[in-house]
Amino acid sequence: MRLTTQQSCALLAKYGSYISELCDACGKGIGAVRFTRRGESGVWCSGECRRDLRQEAVRKGGRPRKYANDEERRAAKTKQQRNYRLRSDVEKTSRSLLETKGLQTQKSPLSTTPHTQAFFTDSAC
């Protein structure tokens, strides 16, 4: 529905936007985007108000995903690693004390001398 110039100016003064048409279905103001049909005089604010069939979202082109979700991707990576480890041509090495430079031996305490009773007296206080 078209608005008169006076109505449009009143809406501009009140709301700060110039609207020249209203949706024929819901009555909302129509801005830069409007929906029409060839051969019909109506104007609508959306395809839903025009009662068109809702179109599915168009998917972007490009390479399809290899895995549907993260769980499938992780399972495939785990399987790949397991298969690699089970191959006979993979060299499995164990660490020796020479390679670790003896760092795997028993740790020694920080001090081997016990504390004497002199450290715990309050004679200085």
68: Cα separation from own chain's centroid: 16
3-state secondary structure of 76: helix
Kindly report the number of other CB atoms within 10 A of residue 20's CB atom. 16
* Rounded distance between C-alpha atoms, residue 82 and residue 95, angstroms: 21
Residue 125 pLDDT: 45
| pTM, entire model | 0.37
Q: Over the stretch 86-110, which tens digit does the pLDDT of each residue have?
A: 888 877 666 555 566 666 666 666 6
Residue 74 pLDDT: 96
Provide the 8-state DSSP code for 2.
B
